[in-house]
A and B are shown apart, each in its own frame.
Chain A
Amino acid sequence: MEVIIQQIINGLSLGMMYALLALGFTMVYGIIELINFSHFSVFVTGAFISMFVLEAMGFNALSQALTDERLIWTLSLTLLVTMISTGLLGVLIERTCLRPLRGFSGVTPMITTIGLSFILTTILMLTRGPNVLAYPNVMPDVRWKVIAVTYQLRELLLWAIAILLMIGLNILIKRTMLGKAMRATAADAEAAQMMGIEVNRIIAITFFLGSALAGAAGFMHGLYYRQISFAMGYMAGMRAFTAAVVGGIGNVVGATLGGLLIGLIEALGGHFIGVKWVDVIVFSILIITFVFKPTGLMGRLKVHRA
Chain B
Amino acid sequence: MNIPRGNVLKQIQLPNPRHLFDRSSIAPLLAGVFLLVAILFPIINRNQRDIDAMTNAGLYVILALGLNLIVGFAGLLNLGYAAFFAIGAYTYGILASMQIQPQWSEAWVWLESIGFVSRISQGGGLPDLVRFQFSFWFMLPLGALLAAAVSVLVGVPTLRLKGDYLAIVTLAFGEIIPVIIRNTPTITGGPAGLTGVRTPSIFGITFGYNPLPYYYLVLFEVVLAIFIVTRLKYSRIGRAWRALRDDELAAGCFGIDHVYFKLLAFGMGSAFAATAGTTLVSKLTTATPEMFRLPVSIGVLVMVILGGIGSIPGTVLGAIILSLLQSVFLQEMSEWVQTFGRLINNPWLAKLQLAPAMDLVYGIILVLMMLYRRQGLIPETLRLTALRPEELKVEPKPEQRIELSFHPLNPAEAKCQLLTIEGLTKRFGGIVAVDGVNLTVNPNEILSVIGPNGSGKTTLFNLITGVIPPDQGCIIFDGKNITGWPMHRIAACGISRTFQTLHLFQNMTVLENLLVAQHAHLRTSVAGAILKPPRVFVEEHAAVEWAKEILAIFGNRLLPRANHVASSLSYANRRRLEIARALATRPKLLLLDEPTAGMNPAETYELMEQIRNLRNLGLSVILIEHKLQVVMNVSERVVVLDYGRKIAEGTPEAVRQDENVITAYLGRRASVTQS
Contacts and interface: CB of A to CB of B under 8 A. Distances in A.
A119 B360 contact: yes
A277 B362 CA distance: 30
B180 interface: yes
Contacts of A277: 179, 183
Given A122-B356, A122-B360, A291-B157, A101 B371 contact: yes
Contacts of B183: 276-277, 280
B374 interface: yes
Given A115-B366, A119-B367, A287 B180 contact: no
Contacts of A101: 370-371
B367 A116 contact: yes
Contacts of B545: none
B364 interface: yes
Interface in B148-190: 157-158, 161-165, 167-169, 172-173, 175-176, 179-180, 182-183
Contacts, number: 109
A125 B356 contact: yes
Contacts of A117: 363
A241 B167 CA distance: 13
B370 A115 contact: yes
A287 B356 contact: no
B305 interface: yes
A121 B359 contact: yes
B508 interface: no
Contacts of B531: none
Nearest to A294: B165
A241 B370 contact: no
B150 to A, nearest CB: 14
Given A118-B359, A130-B356, A283-B176, A241 B164 contact: no
Nearest to B305: A111
A290 B173 CA distance: 12
A234 interface: yes
Given A110-B167, A112-B370, A115-B366, A283 B172 contact: yes
Contact of A115 (B173, B180, B365): B365
Contacts of B363: 114-122
Given A279-B175, A290-B168, A291-B158, A112 B356 contact: no
A35 B164 contact: yes
A106 interface: yes
A175 interface: no
Contacts of B172: 238, 283-284, 286-287
Given A280-B179, A287-B158, A291-B158, A119 B168 contact: no
B167 A280 contact: no
A294 B165 CA distance: 9
B298 interface: yes
Contacts of B163: 106-107, 110
A287 B357 CA distance: 32
B167 A107 contact: yes
Contacts of B305: 111
B367 A290 contact: no
Q: Is the interface of B mostly helix, strand, loop or mixed?
A: helix
A305 interface: yes
Q: Most chain-B CB neighbours within 10 Å: which of A110, A130, A305?
A: A110
Interface in B320-364: 356-357, 359-360, 362-364
A284 B176 contact: yes
A110 B357 CA distance: 22
B370 to A, nearest CB: 4
Nearest to B374: A108
B475 interface: no
B520 interface: no
Contact of A305 (B162, B180, B301, B356): B162
Nearest to B371: A100
Interface residues of B, number: 36
B514 interface: no
A97 interface: yes
Contacts of A119: 360, 363-364, 367
B367 A279 contact: no
Contacts of A290: 158, 161, 165, 168-169
Nearest to A283: B172
A123 interface: yes
Contact of A97 (B161, B294, B356, B367): B367
Contacts of A280: 176, 179-180, 183
B366 A111 contact: yes
B418 to A, nearest CB: 33
A136 to B, nearest CB: 25
A108 B294 CA distance: 18
B371 A107 contact: no
B367 to A, nearest CB: 4
Interface in B34-65: none
B175 A118 contact: no
Contact of A118 (B164, B167, B362): B362
Nearest to B366: A115
Interface in B360-382: 360, 362-367, 370-371, 374
A94 to B, nearest CB: 13
Contacts of A279: 175-176, 179
A200 B172 CA distance: 32
Contacts of B367: 97, 112, 115-116, 119
B565 interface: no
Contacts of B319: none
Contacts of A111: 77, 301, 305, 366, 370
B632 to A, nearest CB: 36
Interface string A232-249: 001000100100010000
Nearest to A29: B164
B511 to A, nearest CB: 26
Interface in A69-127: 97, 100-101, 106-112, 114-123, 125-126
Contacts of B301: 111
Interface string B382-405: 000000000000000000000000
Contacts of A123: 360
Nearest to A109: B370
A114 B298 contact: yes
User: Looking at B158, B360, B370, which has the most chain A CB atoms within 10 Å of its CB?
Assistant: B370
Interface string B299-321: 00100010000000000000000
Contacts of B370: 101, 108-109, 111-112, 115
Contacts of A118: 298, 359-360, 362-363, 366
Given A35-B164, A107-B164, A280-B180, A115 B364 contact: yes
Interface string A244-265: 0100000000000000000000
Interface in A121-177: 121-123, 125-126, 130
Nearest to B71: A107
A111 B340 CA distance: 36
A121 B366 CA distance: 14
A106 B506 CA distance: 15
A120 B301 CA distance: 19
Q: Which 10 A-B residue pairings sit nearest by Cβ, starting from the closest?
A: A115-B366, A118-B363, A119-B363, A122-B360, A283-B172, A115-B367, A112-B370, A115-B363, A286-B172, A122-B359
18 contacts: A107-B77, A108-B370, A111-B77, A111-B366, A112-B370, A115-B364, A118-B298, A118-B362, A118-B363, A119-B364, A119-B367, A122-B363, A130-B356, A241-B168, A283-B173, A287-B173, A290-B161, A294-B161
Interface of A: 34-35, 97, 100-101, 106-112, 114-123, 125-126, 130, 234, 238, 241, 245, 276-277, 279-280, 283-284, 286-287, 290-291, 294, 305
Given A111-B366, A276-B183, A277-B183, 10 more contacts: A35-B168, A107-B164, A119-B360, A122-B363, A126-B356, A234-B294, A276-B182, A280-B179, A284-B176, A290-B169
